[in-house]
Structure 1
Amino acid sequence: MTSSSSTPGLARFNALEEHAAAAALHEACASSAWGSKLLAQRPYTTAEALFAASDAAMAELTAGDLAEAMAGHPPIGRPKPGDPASAREQSGMAGATDALKAEMLELNLAYQEKFGHVFLICATGRTGEQMRDAVRERIGNTPAQEREIVRTELGKINRIRLGRLLEEETA
C-alpha cells in the first residue's frame, strides 16, 4: 500500500455508510472523540491524510478520552478471547514462559493499581521480555508522564490498525 495515493481500501472506507465507518473506527480505537474527529473529515484522499488526521485527533484527546480508548485494550499477556487483532498484536507473549506470564500479570496489576488503567504499549513486534522491561521502567513514571506515553503508544496502535483496515479485502 502506498501512502501517497488513494488505495482500494481507502476508497472502500470513504464509501462506507457513517454507522459502518464509525464501527470500523471503533474497532481501531475505542475513543468516541477520536472516531468522531476522523469521521468528520471523510473522505480522505490518501492513507497518509487519514494517518495525519488520526495523529491530530489523538493529540487533542482529553484524559477522559484516553481512558475511554484504553478501556478497549486488554492487559498485555491476556488478549481478548475471540479478538484476532488483540492476539496478533500481543503475539510476543504467545511463546512466553509461565514465569514471564506470571511476572507480567503481577506487573500489570501493580501498574493498574498505580495508574488506574491497563499498561498500554504498542506490542506489535515486541517480545514478552521487551514488554516486561517496558512496564518495569514505566511504573516509575508520574501519572502525567505516563498519560503522554500512553497517548504516543495509542497513536502507534491506531496507525497499525488503520493500515490494516485499509488493507482488508472486500467482504
Structure 2
Amino acid sequence: MTPSADAALSTLSELSQPDFVARLGDIFEHSPWVAERSWHARPFPSIDALHAAMVTAMTEASEAEQLALIRAHPELAGKEAASGTLTAASTGEQRGAGLDQCSAEELQRLRSLNAAYQERFGFPFVIAVKGRSRYQIMDAIEARLQNDAQKEFATCLGEIAQIARFRLYALLA
C-alpha cells in the first residue's frame, strides 16, 4: 500500500459513523447502509480489509436488502445514461467500457438484452465493466440469461463486490 492509502485508511478509521458513511456511502450504488454497517469493523489495516468488511455487510444483509442493492444499479447504457443521471462512478465505468460509443445497432442489441434479462430475473444485469469491452458485456448478458434465478442473484452480488473493490482502490490507492 502507498503512504497516501495508509493515511486515507487511518483517517477513515477515525471518522464518526455519519462522516464515514458520507465518505463511502456510494461505494455500493445508492446503498449507504453497507458503509454504515461496515463502520464497526474499524480500524482498517488495508483497502482489502475495508472491502472485506463492506462485503460482509452486504452478504449478511437480508435477501430483500440484497435485492434492493441489485436493483439500485443502473441498466447499462439505459435511460439513466441517456438522460445523464448516472452517478459519477457509473458514468466513468460505463464510459470506460465504451458503452457511450455504441452504434445504433449495438445500442438496440444491448437494450434488447437488458430487457430480456430484466424480464427473466426481475432486476437489472450487473457486471463489473472495468477491463471489458461492450462486446464482452453483451456476450456476458447472453450467457448469463441461461442461469437460474438463484445463481444469477449470487452472480450479481459477486459482481457488485468487484465493482466496490474497483471503486475503493480508485478512491484510496
Output the TM-score relative to the length of structure 1: 0.85
Q: What's the RMSD between the two structures over aligned residues?
A: 2.3
For 1:91-138, what per-residue CA distance to the aligned partner results, in whole angstroms no more than 9, with x for missing partners?
211222121111111111111111111110111121111110011111
Counterpart code for 2:18: H
Q: What is the distance in 2 between the residues matched to 1:147 and 1:82?
A: 22
Once the two structures are aligned, what percentage of the paired residues are identical? Answer: 28
1:100 to 97, 103, 106: 106
Q: Is the aligned partner of 1:65 residue 2:74?
A: no
Counterpart code for 2:93: E
Q: Is the aligned partner of 1:151 residue 2:150?
A: no
Q: Is the aligned partner of 1:83 residue 2:82?
A: no
- What residue is the counterpart of 1:126 in the other structure? 132
What aligned pairs does 1:137-148 form with structure 2 within 5 A after superposition?
A: 137-148=143-154
Q: What is the distance in 2 between the residues matched to 1:45 and 1:5?
A: 13
Q: What is the distance in 2 between the residues matched to 1:67 and 1:83?
A: 19
Q: Return the structure number with greater helix share.
A: 2
Counterpart code for 2:74: P
Q: Is the aligned partner of 1:117 residue 2:116?
A: no
Structure 1 runs not aligned, ≥5 long: none
User: Contact 2:77–2:111 (CA<8 Å) still a contact in 1?
Assistant: yes
- Matched residue of 1:27: which SS? coil
TM-aligned CA distance change 1:26 to 1:71, over 3 Å: farther
User: Contact 2:26–2:32 (CA<8 Å) still a contact in 1?
Assistant: no
Structure 2 runs not aligned, ≥5 long: none
Q: What is the distance in 2 between the residues matched to 1:77 and 1:49?
A: 32
User: Contact 2:77–2:94 (CA<8 Å) still a contact in 1?
Assistant: yes
Output the TM-score relative to the length of structure 2: 0.84
Counterpart code for 1:165: L
Mean alpha-carbon deviation: is it higher for 92-101 or for 80-89? 80-89
Aligned-residue offset at 1:145: 0.8
TM-aligned CA distance change 1:6 to 1:85, over 3 Å: closer
Q: What is the distance in 1 between the residues matched to 2:130 and 2:111?
A: 19
- What residue is the counterpart of 1:8 in the other structure? 7
Mean alpha-carbon deviation: is it higher for 5-14 or for 144-153? 5-14
